[in-house]
């Protein structure tokens, strides 16, 4: 929560800002609970404790929750049908005002809930005051956050699948494009680019699974827990849950208002997804470097230099790599926020929103950027193939060839190591050594070794499930296309 003094000079109707208040009339009283206090809250305390600067984004969820709560109150006879009609009409008008940027957010009303309730009372009179019957801001905000996060998870899942589809299509175009596979960032064995890209599809699938599992735990209704102990009104929590699309209710009222596991769990899944994107970003940065020259990134995802006219900086991948750190930081902040709180609700929980909101925005926007960028990647297949010929990438194939001839693997490993040393001293690849020289290391080597030492022969030999053989990668592409659909 941040409220700079400059914020008082902003347009009071500008979306996302609180309306300026005359110093003489600033919160002359707290209308929601003025009866208990003999003096108004100090200006500084108001700014320090207010959350309206960032929790406005909960407004759509707050309205949906209030509509469901009001319908239930009318159903059980706590409010009249006329009150319900007035509440529904008022909330729909407020929804429109917010959507059009016409709603005036008032700092003295602290948060999104009181701002909407105050405006509803202006529109609906006493009916607006009756809306809060049987609930507290404690269960109200917990409900709003779950509704909000559920929707955002659905958007993120859609972006995850969109990025997966983009990667699958790029992989499908390169099931026979050979590149070096690396371990320790050293040339290890040849693979096809499609196989490499599908590794990220697998990572993103696990991210989608985690998000789906998190969504299931998000989708429990806290409303009805009131402040912490429940309410004496004859409410029907199941009816509210059904209307709002929750899978069930939070069973313990104290846990319902104080639990933020759902936010922490989302903020734990998000850094792992960002870490996967960051790993991909690092490879894109390396591959786009002229020293690799494997790919070209679309111009619209790069920037130039203020002094060096030749530069094409991979800013989007670099920022994704950097933003991963802030998402990890948000998780740490939430864990520290929750670790010492006694039951039930505490004002500390106001601090859960900004890290959650920032994590949602960062992950969603990064996925969107990558889903847009991947289809525009230009693959330099010749450069990839040339690089695969460096570093003796098919040495393991020669060792395996000798093993199939009956030699123990450790002996084969030693023989091939000596052949590699000779090729390195001659400045050539293993496949370029004369056959007679290779036979000097083992009489088991014959002309068939030249096939296994070729790049195409090497990748074709990995023809088992999960291997890099083009036929296997074709099958994986077909599998993912069917699984992900259009």
CA-wise closest residue to 379 among 173, 203, 82: 173
**CA–CA dist 445, 344 (Å, integer):** 75
**CA–CA dist 76, 236 (Å, integer):** 7
184 in catalytic set: yes
Q: Is the peptide bond before 53 cis (omega within 30 degrees of 0)?
A: no
Other CB atoms within a 10 A radius of the CB of residue 52 amount to 23
Other CB atoms within a 10 A radius of the CB of residue 272 amount to 17
Contacts by residues 93-101 (CB-CB < 8 Å, ≥ 24 positions apart) = 93/123, 94/63, 94/119, 94/120, 94/123, 95/59, 95/60, 95/63, 98/59, 98/60, 101/13, 101/14, 101/15
195 in catalytic set: no
Cα-based distances in Å from 461 to 239, 248, 330, 438: 60, 52, 46, 21
CB 135 within 8 A of CB 223: yes
Q: At 305, is the secondary structure helix, strand, or coil?
A: coil
Kindly give the pairing relationship between strand 248-249 and strand 295-296: unpaired
303's tokens: 């920037």
18's tokens: 């609180």
Residue 211: phi, psi to the nearest 5? -65, -40
Identify the active-site residue in 24, 184, 232, 425.
Answer: 184
CA-wise closest residue to 135 among 75, 219, 3, 224: 224
**CA–CA dist 469, 145 (Å, integer):** 47
Residues carrying an active site annotation:
184, 305
């Amino acid at each position: 929560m941040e409220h700079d003094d400059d914020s008082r000079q902003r347009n009071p109707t500008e979306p996302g800002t609180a309306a300026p208040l005359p110093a003489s009339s600033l919160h002359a009283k707290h209308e929601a609970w003025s009866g208990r206090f003999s003096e108004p809250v100090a200006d500084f305390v108001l700014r320090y404790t207010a959350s309206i600067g960032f929790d406005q984004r909960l407004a759509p969820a707050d309205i949906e929750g209030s509509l469901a709560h009001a319908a239930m109150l009318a159903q059980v006879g706590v409010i009249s049908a006329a009150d319900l009609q007035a509440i529904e009409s008022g909330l729909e008008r407020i929804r429109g005002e917010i959507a059009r940027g016409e709603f005036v957010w008032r700092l003295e009303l602290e948060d999104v809930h009181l701002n909407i309730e105050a405006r509803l009372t202006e529109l609906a009179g006493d009916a607006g005051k009756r809306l809060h019957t049987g609930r507290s801001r404690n269960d109200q905000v917990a409900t709003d956050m779950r509704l909000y996060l559920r929707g955002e998870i659905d958007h993120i899942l859609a972006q995850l699948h969109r990025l997966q589809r983009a990667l699958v299509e790029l992989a499908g175009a390169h099931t026979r494009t050979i590149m070096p596979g690396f371990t320790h960032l050293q040339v290890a064995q040849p693979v096809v680019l499609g196989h490499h890209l599908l590794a990220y599809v697998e990572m993103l699938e696990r991210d989608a699974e985690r998000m789906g599992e998190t969504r299931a735990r998000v989708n429990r209704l806290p409303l009805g827990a009131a402040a912490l102990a429940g309410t004496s009104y004859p409410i029907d929590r199941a009816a509210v849950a059904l209307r709002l699309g929750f899978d069930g209710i939070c069973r313990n009222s104290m846990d319902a208002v104080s639990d933020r596991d759902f936010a922490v769990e989302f903020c734990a899944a998000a850094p792992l997804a960002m870490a996967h994107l960051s790993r991909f970003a690092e490879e894109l940065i390396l591959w786009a470097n002229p020293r690799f020259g494997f790919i070209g990134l679309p111009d619209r995802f790069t920037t130039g230099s203020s002094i060096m006219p030749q530069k094409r900086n991979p800013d989007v991948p670099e920022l994704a790599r950097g933003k991963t750190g802030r998402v990890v930081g948000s998780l740490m902040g939430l864990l520290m926020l929750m670790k010492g709180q006694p039951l039930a609700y505490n004002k500390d929980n106001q601090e859960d929103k900004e890290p959650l909101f920032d994590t949602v925005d960062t992950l969603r926007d990064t996925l969107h950027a990558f889903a847009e960028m991947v289809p525009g990647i230009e693959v330099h297949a010749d450069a990839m193939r040339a690089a695969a010929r460096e570093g003796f990438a098919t040495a393991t194939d020669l060792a395996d060839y000798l093993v199939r001839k009956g030699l123990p693997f450790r002996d084969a490993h030693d023989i091939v190591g000596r052949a590699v040393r000779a090729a390195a001293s001659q400045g050539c690849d293993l496949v370029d050594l004369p056959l007679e020289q290779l036979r000097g290391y083992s009489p088991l080597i014959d002309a068939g070794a030249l096939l296994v030492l070729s790049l195409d022969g090497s990748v074709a030999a990995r023809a088992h499930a999960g291997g890099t053989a083009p036929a296997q990668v074709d099958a994986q592409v077909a599998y993912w296309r069917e699984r992900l659909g259009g």
